[in-house]
Amino acid sequence: MPFLQLTLDIGGADPAPWEDALVELGAVSVTLEDAADDPVLEPAPGETPLWPTVRVQALFAGDADAVAITEAIARLFPGVAAPRLATVEDKAWEREWLRDFRPMRFGRRLWVCPGGQPAGDPDAVRVELDPGLAFGTGTHATTAMCLEWLDGRDLRGRSLVDYGCGSGILAIAALKLGASSAHAVDIDPQALIATRENAERNGILSGLTVTGEPLLPGASADVLVANILAGPLVELAPHLAAAVRAGGEIALSGVLTEQVDAVTAAYRPWFDIALTAAREGWGLIGGRRRAD
C-alpha cells in the first residue's frame, strides 16, 4: 500500500511540537533530517544533537486526507510554508540500503561486503558488514584510509588496539588480515553492541576484546588505530602513545587536512610520524614508536 509523505523545512525551530502534532494527526512515522548539509560529527553517548536547519518528514497512510492535514498544520503553526506532499510506494525497506551499498575493496586484499554478497575476488580477505547502530562501514574517507592502511601491513601474529571502534570494522579487518588479537574500545554502548555482533557474524569473536573502559595496558600493542577526531586525538596523545610498544605502529584518522600539523605535533615526542594519505579533505597520519 502506498504512503502519503509530507515534508516540512522548520529551520532552527524545536522539532518536538512538530513531531507531537504530526503523530496526533495520524503519522505512522516522523523523521528528522539535515536540511542544509551540516553534518553532526561524533556526538557524545546519550546526546541527540540536531542540525542548524531541520527538515521534518512524516509518513501517513495512503488514504489519509492530505487537505485536512495541511489545514491542521496551518492552524497549529501559522505562517509556516505549506508542506510538500508526495506519494511513496511501499517497499521492502529493510533491504533498500542494498541498492547503494555494494562490496568494496580496500587496498590489495581487503573487501567489505554487505548482506551476504560475495567479494569481487576469490582470494579476498572478506569482512561482512551491514550499516547498523554505529559508525563505520568503509564508505567514509577516514574509515577507507584506515582499512587501506591495515591492508598494507603484515599483521600476522600482531596485537592491535582499535580506539573508538564504532562498528568494530577496523578490529575485525585486522583479525581477518591475521592479527593475533584485537582490543576494541569505545565509550558508546551502541558501538560495543555493534562490534560484538559484527565480530560474531565474521567468526572472530574469540580473538577480540570489546570494552568501554578507555584505559589501555601499557606498551602492549603492536598496532594502534584511532579513527576519531582531531581534538580527542591531541588530548589522548600521551595515553595512546603509552599503549604502543617500541617499534609498534600507529594510524590516526578523523583528522581534517588543516588539523594534520597539530595532531602530528602532539605525537612527535614518541613517534616518527607524518601524513601518509589524504582524501576528500581528510588525512591519515601514520607513525612508528621510537624506543624510550
The CATH number of the domain where 144 resides is what? Answer: 3.40.50.150
Q: Is residue 193 part of a domain?
A: yes
Which residue range forms the structural domain that includes residue 17?
3-90
What's the total number of domains in the chain?
2
Please state the pTM of the whole predicted model.
0.72
Q: Is residue 203 part of a domain?
A: yes
The CATH number of the domain where 72 resides is what? Answer: 3.30.70.260
Q: Which of these ranges, 30-34, 190-194, 225-229, has the smallest mean pLDDT? A: 30-34
Sheet containing 159-163: which strands, arranged edge to edge? Answer: 208-211, 181-185, 159-163, 221-227, 244-256, 282-289, 271-279
Q: Is residue 149 part of a domain?
A: yes
Q: Judge contact between 108 and 120, C-beta under 8 A.
A: no
Which of 28, 57, 90 delimits the end of a domain?
90
pLDDT at 158 over 50: yes
Domain co-membership, 79 together with 151 = no
- Decide which of 33 and 239 is more confident: 239
pLDDT tens digits for range 240-290: 999 999 999 999 999 999 999 999 999 999 999 999 999 999 999 999 999
Which of 50, 69, 90 delimits the end of a domain?
90
pLDDT number for residue 130:
76
pLDDT tens digits for range 108-128: 999 998 877 888 888 899 999
Q: Is residue 164 part of a domain?
A: yes
pLDDT number for residue 186:
94
Q: Is residue 122 part of a domain?
A: no
Domain co-membership, 72 together with 213 = no
CA distance 290 to 245: 9
Q: Is residue 105 part of a domain?
A: no
Domain co-membership, 11 together with 147 = no
pLDDT number for residue 134:
44
Q: Judge contact between 247 and 241, C-beta under 8 A.
A: no
Domain co-membership, 170 together with 84 = no
Name the pLDDT band for 129 (thresholds 50, 70, 90).
Answer: confident
pLDDT at 107 over 90: yes
Across the chain, what does the average pLDDT equal?
A: 88
Query: Helix (H, G, I), strand (E, B), or coil: what is residue 10?
Result: strand
The whole-number average pLDDT for the span 31-45 is: 64
The whole-number average pLDDT for the span 83-99 is: 70
Domain co-membership, 160 together with 277 = yes
